[in-house]
């Protein structure tokens, strides 16, 4: 997803929720400012759906919940809200909220050229405020590449780069899968992202 700052006065969180209900598109909310979320490429959408299906099927007999890009994530101890492409929470506290979750253990962002730096930098720094957060997947939509940021038992973040032929391991939800499973049948070219609008 691509974020663009809107020309809207600063809002309180309550005003943001009320305002966004009347909008035609989704908006992230950071430091009182709203940012419109525009659509991504076809590959971006297909990859997101594959992760949602994979996680939902794997977790169907658990208490965990898988959210799509319509589910807000509240950044812990802030009034900031983002819309990741895919999120998974296994925390009972998230069952008590209806408009967002706060304690995901896993987040997936499908990368776009215009948002990759933010996804790897500022957004990741915000997500790390959550003590339950263990796995952050950054997924290319133009080549068979996935970067996993994983928090180990010592609390250190490790970066694991997956490429064609690799098996991805998500310890947060006890899942292993072939990287090709996500990319099956997709036409992967840099041009697939170039037609996006900012």
Q: Is 184 inside any structural domain?
A: yes
Taking the CA of residue 110 as centre, how many other CA atoms within 13 Å lie in the half-sphere pointing to its CB? 26
Domains identified in the chain, total number = 1
- CATH number of the domain to which 121 belongs: 3.90.1570.10
* pLDDT less than 70: residues of the chain: 1-7, 191-198
Q: Is 33 inside any structural domain?
A: no
Rounded to whole angstroms, the Cα distance separating 95 from 170 reads 22
Give the pLDDT score at 111.
Answer: 92
Give the pLDDT score at 196.
Answer: 45
- State phi, psi for 49 to the nearest 5 degrees: -60, -40
pLDDT single digits (tens) 70-92: 999 999 999 999 999 999 999 99
Q: Is 79 inside any structural domain?
A: yes
Close Cβ partners of 123 (under 8 Å, ≥ 6 residues apart): 82, 109
Give the domain range for residue 81. Answer: 40-194
Closest CA to 44 of 164, 147, 136, 142: 142
Give the pLDDT score at 6.
Answer: 64
Q: Is 115 inside any structural domain?
A: yes
Q: Is 21 inside any structural domain?
A: no
Give the pLDDT score at 99.
Answer: 92
Rounded to whole angstroms, the Cα distance separating 193 from 114 reads 9
- State phi, psi for 176 to the nearest 5 degrees: -125, 140
Give the pLDDT score at 150.
Answer: 98
Q: Is 1 inside any structural domain?
A: no
Give the pLDDT score at 192.
Answer: 41
Give the pLDDT score at 195.
Answer: 46
Strands of 27-30's sheet, edge to edge?
2-5, 33-38, 27-30, 81-82, 72-74, 100-101
3-state secondary structure at position 170:
strand
Q: Is 125 inside any structural domain?
A: yes
Give the pLDDT score at 25.
Answer: 83
Give the pLDDT score at 194.
Answer: 46
Report which secondary-structure segment, H or E, holds 56.
helix 42-58
Rounded to whole angstroms, the Cα distance separating 109 from 87 reads 9
In the block, residue with structure tokens 């730096």: 117
Give the pLDDT score at 137.
Answer: 98
Q: Is 27 inside any structural domain?
A: no
Whole-Å CA distances, 193 to 40, 113, 140, 142: 8, 7, 10, 7
């Amino acid at each position: 997803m691509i974020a663009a700052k809107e020309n809207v006065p600063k809002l309180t969180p309550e005003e943001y929720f009320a305002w966004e209900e009347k909008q035609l598109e989704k908006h992230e909310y950071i430091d009182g400012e709203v940012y419109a979320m525009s659509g991504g490429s076809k590959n971006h959408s297909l990859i997101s759906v594959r992760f949602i299906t994979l996680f939902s099927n794997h977790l169907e007999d658990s208490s965990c919940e898988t959210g799509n890009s319509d589910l807000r994530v509240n950044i812990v101890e802030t009034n900031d809200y983002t819309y990741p492409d895919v999120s998974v929470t296994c925390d009972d506290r998230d069952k008590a909220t209806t408009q967002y979750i706060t304690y995901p253990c896993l987040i997936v962002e499908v990368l776009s050229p215009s948002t990759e730096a933010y996804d790897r930098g500022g957004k990741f720094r915000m997500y790390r405020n959550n003590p339950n957060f263990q796995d952050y997947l950054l997924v290319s939509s133009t080549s068979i590449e996935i970067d996993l940021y994983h928090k180990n038992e010592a609390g250190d973040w490790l970066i694991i780069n997956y490429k064609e032929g690799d098996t991805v391991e998500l310890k947060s939800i006890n899942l292993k899968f072939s990287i090709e499973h996500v990319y099956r049948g997709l036409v992967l070219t840099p041009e697939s992202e170039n037609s996006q609008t900012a």
